[in-house]
């Protein structure tokens, strides 16, 4: 800027000595030009400074936003969850005795046979995720020796609406008998080899997995929960066209869909399809359905039921579970694989899955997420209705039903599953009334 002022002053002096007559006009013209030049220079300088400041501020805000976003997206899964249960149940593997742990007492106690009945046995079995009671009896204390010395649990005489409120501590049992019971067997599998490092499942590894065929085509997966009931997703069967039961066929005890091999397996016709009345096809909420078979399945090493979740028991984020199905191995595939695939996936807490970097609040209380954001492992089209199972207390439980997701194995978009524990009352009610 100082060089511009010097140049204007020199020019003025030269014109004053050469043309004294027009000096006044020259001074006015040159003064105006110099003023415009100075004003333009100042304007350009100010504009450059403002631009620089705005760029710096913008970069700073961008960095701050990135930090906030990264921090928000790095929500860690809860390593533990609060257990709301006040009463815990188990059945001794050694002698089938029912044992109960009350919240106020940190020990497992046998149950007096007084006031016991089969209806209570069914409720206890369902608390354990096993569909029904198969056998119960009273066992003489003298027959089991001195195994129990800390006391007993007995049913109260008062009528209670909830099972957890029915129990009280007793120092002895008046009849001298305690409860032994057996629940519907589920969640176990035969000892079968696994393909090390592979993704193809071996026969009998997931014996509850079924393939649901509609009009002679694999459409969805499903899970066996009793000899006549299959759990699948509502979106597989909810439309009027897909609700026609006579077009559905269920294949169980298979890992390959090869037509020649399918012919040797018994196919099962469907008698009834019931999907949850609250199912919303837009939000995917309550995406669960039940299929009743016309004829019961014959259980074997390759055909077995899976257990349901326990009431009020949440598995923490990070728990490793398994998915299986005949779905596409890539989202752009047009052919469904012939052999059943399996993959291990960790559960993701709802808090993390609902964050802005994942599903931004779309996950309801009736959904759960599972998947690995670092490795491309996910369920995909064709896997719908299939099982997400987790091993809990030495049995396999149907924790989720393959429901929806953004793409297949996309970063920060894990698979979304129907949360089976949110529908236990509905499942038991449907089976009882049908």
Catalytic residues: 235, 287, 384
- Which residues make Cβ contacts (< 8 Å) with residue 177, sequence separation at least 6? 112, 113, 138, 139, 140, 141
Pull the structure tokens for residue 318: 């990070």
Query: CA distances (Å), 123 to each of 107, 164, 322, 406, in order?
Result: 22, 10, 28, 38
Angle at 249 between CA 243 and CA 254, to 5 degrees: 135
Residue 35 CA, chain-centre distance (Å), reads: 72
Residue with tokens 């079968």: 192
Q: Is 31 helix (H, G, I), strand (E, B) or coil?
A: helix
Contact 206, 224 (CB under 8 A): no
Q: Is 377 helix (H, G, I), strand (E, B) or coil?
A: strand
Q: How far apart are CA 281 and CA 239, in angstroms?
A: 10
- Helices 23-73 and 2-18 pack at an angle, to 10 degrees, of 170
Query: CA distances (Å), 317 to each of 144, 229, 347, 379, 390, in order?
Result: 41, 29, 5, 18, 12
Residue with tokens 């009334």: 433
Q: Return the CA Rg of the chain.
A: 36
Kindly state the DSSP code that residue 129 receives in the 8-state scheme. Answer: T
């Amino acid at each position: 800027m100082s060089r511009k002022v010097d140049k204007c002053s020199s020019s003025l002096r030269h014109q004053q000595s050469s043309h004294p007559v027009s000096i006044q006009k020259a001074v006015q013209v040159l003064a105006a030009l110099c003023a415009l030049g100075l004003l333009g220079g100042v304007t350009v300088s100010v504009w450059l400074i403002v631009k620089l400041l705005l760029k710096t501020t913008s970069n700073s805000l961008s960095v701050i936003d990135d930090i906030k976003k990264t921090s928000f997206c790095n929500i860690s899964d809860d390593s533990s969850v609060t257990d709301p249960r006040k009463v815990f149940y188990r059945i001794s593997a050694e002698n089938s005795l029912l044992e109960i742990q009350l919240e106020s007492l940190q020990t497992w106690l046998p149950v007096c046979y007084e006031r016991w009945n089969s209806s209570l046995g069914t409720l206890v079995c369902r608390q354990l995720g096993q569909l029904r009671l198969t056998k119960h009896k009273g066992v003489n204390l003298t027959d089991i020796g001195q195994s129990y010395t800390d006391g007993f649990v007995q049913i109260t005489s008062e009528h209670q609406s909830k099972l957890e409120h029915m129990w009280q501590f007793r120092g002895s049992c008046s009849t001298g008998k305690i409860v032994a019971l057996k629940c519907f067997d589920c969640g176990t599998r035969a000892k079968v080899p696994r393909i090390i490092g592979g993704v193809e499942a071996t026969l009998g590894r997931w014996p509850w997995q079924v393939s649901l065929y509609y009009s002679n085509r694999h459409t969805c997966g499903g899970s066996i929960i009793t000899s006549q009931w299959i759990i699948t997703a509502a979106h597989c069967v909810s439309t009027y066209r897909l609700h026609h039961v006579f077009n559905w066929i269920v294949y169980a005890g298979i890992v390959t869909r090869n037509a020649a091999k399918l012919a040797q397996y018994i196919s099962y016709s469907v008698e009834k399809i019931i999907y949850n009345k609250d199912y919303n096809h837009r939000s995917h909420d309550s995406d669960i359905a039940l299929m009743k078979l016309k004829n019961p399945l014959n259980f074997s090493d390759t055909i077995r039921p899976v257990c349901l979740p326990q009431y009020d028991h949440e598995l923490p984020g990070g728990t490793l579970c398994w998915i299986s199905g005949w779905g596409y191995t890539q989202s752009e595939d047009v052919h469904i694989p012939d052999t059943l695939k399996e993959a291990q996936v960790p559960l993701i807490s709802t808090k993390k899955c609902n964050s802005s970097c994942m599903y931004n609040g779309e996950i309801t209380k009736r959904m759960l997420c599972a998947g690995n954001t670092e490795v491309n492992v996910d369920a995909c089209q064709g896997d719908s209705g299939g099982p997400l199972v987790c091993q809990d207390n030495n049995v396999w439980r149907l924790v989720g039903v393959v429901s929806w997701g953004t793409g297949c194995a996309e970063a920060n978009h894990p698979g979304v599953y129907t949360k089976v524990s949110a529908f236990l009352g509905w499942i038991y009610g449907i089976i009882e009334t049908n």
